[in-house]
Structure 1
Amino acid sequence: MTYREINFFKGHPSSRLLPREAVIQATAAILGPETREYDKDPYNRHPLTYGSDEGALWVREQICTFLNDQVFKFKNGARSRTQADYLNLNSGASYGMLNILLQTTLPHNGYTRQAFIITPTYFLINDCFTDAGFKGKMTAINEQGHNSIDFESLVSALDQHEAEPQPHSTTEIIQGPKLTKKVYKYVMYCIPTFANPSGNTYSLETRRRLVEIARKYDMLIITDDVYDILDYTTPSDELPSPPLRMVHIDRSTASLGEDSFGNTISNATFSKLIAPGLRFGYHESINANLARQLSKGGANVSGGTPSQLNSMIVGELLRSGAAQRCIAHLRSVYSERASILTSALKKYMPLGTEMPPLKGGYFAWITLPPAYNAMEISTILAKKFNVILADGSNFEVIGDEKNWGQSSFRLSVSFLEVDEIERGIELFGAVCKSHAITNNIVM
């Protein structure tokens, strides 16, 4: 019997959810007129020419309105509010991540001593750190419960690196006569809200403590803030108010002087909120200093902001309200899928399977009882039933593995329809039952 593929690995929207008509209308609004009032403005420029280094000012202002007034609902005058010059526009979170590492760290000569990555982690982030020179310099830090991390291990590792003799290393090799860069001694990567893959959301206390530690050890915390608006607990016709991003906490509590760069950078994208093919996102820092530094990398200065046209399409989608309607639709669909997934897991999976509630984002992280072998089960599902699962081995920090492949899986709700989710989990449960019988596991 041939089974139709059911793929729980894919972490992107199914094709029917892509807002084709809205993007067409926004593109026509941007390119339809022969001229626009900002075409010759050096802070904006024509949508089809090289953009300014930081990205179009009017788009950054639209993002500020979206974040400040519609999503986080900050009061006027609040220090947490985003300003246009705190933003650097880029071509999405993946490229944004590598840009941050290249422009703020220097592992090659030992100046930046170590990278700390929350585990289980996004399965492709290892490549970014390796490309940036961190091979052999990555430490995995476990999450604790569903809202915190292993602070004891983090601080212990930081203290150990601080105590070790360090080679004489400076930032001279990247400093130029017109630019002084802020380079950090340590860097951390995490997804603090609806994390990929665990789905966990860190408490306000956890976020504040991370910022305090980062300040003490000259560490930059890079947060992938890509799922936090995809909250399922708020009615779909309302934009949710996510937890404060760490950049908000850093900004509201930092001493903001001329030489201040902060210890956080929000790496955000519209890929999860509108469509991944637009390849558009933004960095947000506590003030203009770090955002400006990220905009002045060699490639950026050479070509200007990397998503000039796409940024304006997204800016128009935000201005017209189409982006907000798209987000509402996605949240409604994903919420239904999450509900079906949760019910199916409870119905079909072995007794004792850990299934944290799926309250937002794309992913559920489930853990089978200890006697089961996740990698063996995923292999059988793929070969016999064409059900593709991402077992935990995909989400390790390279060089500091925690054996997530033994019993854990990540399941995505963004790609599959509800009937596929139900059928896929039914087959998943059947294979687990057969696996238990074969291996004499008490069910």
Structure 2
Amino acid sequence: MTTKPTHASEVPSNPQSGKHQINLIRGWPNPGLLPVDLLSAAAQRNLSDPAIYVPALQYGPDSGYQPLREALATWLSEHYRVERDPNRICISGGASQNVACILQSFTDPNVTQAVWCISPSYHLVFQIFRDNGFEGRLRATPEDEEGVDIEALETKLAEFEKHTPEAKAPVSDAGKYRKHYRHVIYAVPTCSNPSGKTMSLRRREALVRLARKYDALIICDDVYDFLQWRIDSDPSKVSSSLSANEHPEMLLPRLCDIDLAMGRANNDPHGFGHAVSNGSFSKLTGPGMRTGWLEGSPAFAFGLAQTGATKSGGSPSQFSASIMADLVQSGALQERLATTLRPQLQHRHRIMMQAIHKHLEPLNVGIRDAGLVNGSVYGGYFVWLTLEEGISAKLVSEVTMTEENLVVGNGTMFQVPGDEASVYLDNAVRLTFAYVPEKDLVEGVERLSNVLQRIKADPEKYKALASTMADSDIIDANK
């Protein structure tokens, strides 16, 4: 029986391997990527001015710290080429907390029939859905090469509706500022976690049309949009302007913007819309800032601000939001993304991909070099590998841990609980290039290659050694 770690920093390890641990599952920024200088300077400026620190340290308005809403509206409208409207923005306590608030305000156990997760899916979101009443009602729908298999999802939705009775009376009254959707669709359209894929424009448009048809709300985790780069560019040649190095593939419209451009749907008289963008500063500054935003229709953003916890405690992350407002207003954050964070992630990705092509491609491991099919841009934190037929990713992850002191994410972690059979993922491995020291990116890939070669050389031996370690043990220890 495997002992479950008691703290996230306690990682299952095998000191008998004689090797230091390399953690390629943890989706954190490397400590060297944290902008301590910018955050410190902004905090000092804010805390020296009572006009800023008094409201920043008090209960915040329901929709969030207004200077940040204004600054985000300017930045996001310029980046996505949409009309500026602060009323479309509601400040959150980060993307994860915001998913919970969205579910609390816009779903109902008797009205909302299912949550559809594009699979493979971000594994830590599942418990948020369960905590909000969707235990046993999570459904998997597959990706395709363009990000989501629309035909498969529509077939599943149509079949589901055919055998699902009419919704019961809602448990709670949505009131005039909110509504209860019949379905929820969860997606990471750009630089998906875990697959790294970016959803094509036609798939984005088709998904919005499908959501409108079936009264679904698409929750888009748009947390990697600003962390993209051309795979053929030189990461050492940087510009202080984010837009200077942007490629059209980096500027695909968000689903919330596509939804808005289509006009109000016939079944949406109050204009809540059918897609929202869930943004976060966690990957842009540091996860500990716990500050993010939602962008959707003005009606949806206002309705989200009516969530009970927000009405009671005020907007979450009020002080952190004041720091983010300082950095966005001044352009310091955008400059740092352009000159430091994006080039550093590009450099790390290139190091890992060179090692993958050298050590894993000869072992028939499938690799995706760009986010879009035949694209020239990649981004995010993760690389998704497809193993040779007959090799279990779960077995590989166990052997890498016990024999190489290497932690990788096996595909089964990213299966939708309760609907695992719908999308087979025991043939895939996720690696993270953002966290460990650069030298460990290469060594980690080499260790994985060694394990794959040993398993291929003696498959029966390793099948017999397979343990019963639960994915949850690894997940809890290596978030």
TM over 0.5: yes
Quick one: distance in 2 between partners of 1:255 and 1:406?
41
Q: Deviations along 1:348-398, whole A, 9 cap, x unmatched?
A: 114321000151011110011102222222112111221111111110100
TM superposition outliers: structure 1 runs of 4+ over 6 Å: none
Deviation at 1:168, TM superposition (A): 5.2
After TM superposition, the structure 1 = structure 2 runs for residues 252-267 of structure 1, keeping only pairs within 5 Å, are: 252-255=261-264, 259-267=270-278
Asked if 1:151 corresponds to 2:153, the answer is no
Deviation at 1:440, TM superposition (A): 8.2
After TM superposition, the structure 1 = structure 2 runs for residues 177-326 of structure 1, keeping only pairs within 5 Å, are: 179-233=176-230, 236-237=238-239, 238-239=241-242, 240=246, 241-255=250-264, 259-285=270-296, 287-326=297-336
Report what 1:42 is aligned to. Answer: none
**Which residue identity is paired with 1:289?**
A
Q: Deviations along 1:84-112, whole A, 9 cap, x unmatched?
A: 11111010000001111111111x22x11
Report what 1:68 is aligned to. Answer: 77
**Which residue identity is paired with 1:91?**
G
Q: Deviations along 1:18-70, whole A, 9 cap, x unmatched?
A: 1111101011111112334xx8xxxxx7110001000122210100111112x
Quick one: distance in 1 between partners of 2:304 and 2:23?
36
* Identical pairs, percent: 33
Quick one: distance in 2 between partners of 1:172 and 1:413?
44
**Aligned-partner SS, 2:26:** coil
Structure with higher RCO (Cα < 8 A, 6+ apart): 2
**Aligned-partner SS, 1:188:** strand
| Cα contact 1:231–1:242 (8 A) shared by 2 | no
After TM superposition, the structure 1 = structure 2 runs for residues 37-436 of structure 1, keeping only pairs within 5 Å, are: 46-69=55-78, 71-72=79-80, 74=81, 80-106=82-108, 108-109=109-110, 111-145=111-145, 147-167=146-166, 169-171=168-170, 173-176=172-175, 179-233=176-230, 236-237=238-239, 238-239=241-242, 240=246, 241-255=250-264, 259-285=270-296, 287-328=297-338, 329-349=340-360, 350-358=362-370, 359-402=378-421, 404-436=424-456
Report what 1:2 is aligned to. Answer: 18
Cα distance change on mapping 1:175 and 1:262 into 2, 3 Å: closer
| Cα contact 1:116–1:188 (8 A) shared by 2 | yes
Deviation at 1:244, TM superposition (A): 0.7
Quick one: distance in 2 between partners of 1:315 and 1:133?
35
The alignment of Structure 1 onto Structure 2 pairs a total of residues equal to 421
**Which residue identity is paired with 1:320?**
S
Report what 1:77 is aligned to. Answer: none
| Cα contact 1:54–1:88 (8 A) shared by 2 | yes
Deviation at 1:258, TM superposition (A): 7.1
| Cα contact 1:138–1:400 (8 A) shared by 2 | yes
**Aligned-partner SS, 2:229:** coil
Cα distance change on mapping 1:175 and 1:371 into 2, 3 Å: closer
Cα distance change on mapping 1:406 and 1:2 into 2, 3 Å: same
Quick one: distance in 2 between partners of 1:224 and 1:208?
17
Q: Deviations along 1:383-419, whole A, 9 cap, x unmatched?
A: 1221111111110100111465522101111102221
| Cα contact 2:177–2:302 (8 A) shared by 1 | no
Deviation at 1:430, TM superposition (A): 1.1
Report what 2:47 is aligned to. Answer: 31
Report what 2:471 is aligned to. Answer: none
**Aligned-partner SS, 2:197:** coil
Greater shift, 273-282 or 402-411, is seen at: 402-411
Cα distance change on mapping 1:375 and 1:163 into 2, 3 Å: closer
**Which residue identity is paired with 2:398?**
T
TM-score norm. by structure 2 comes to 0.84
Deviation at 1:81, TM superposition (A): 2.4
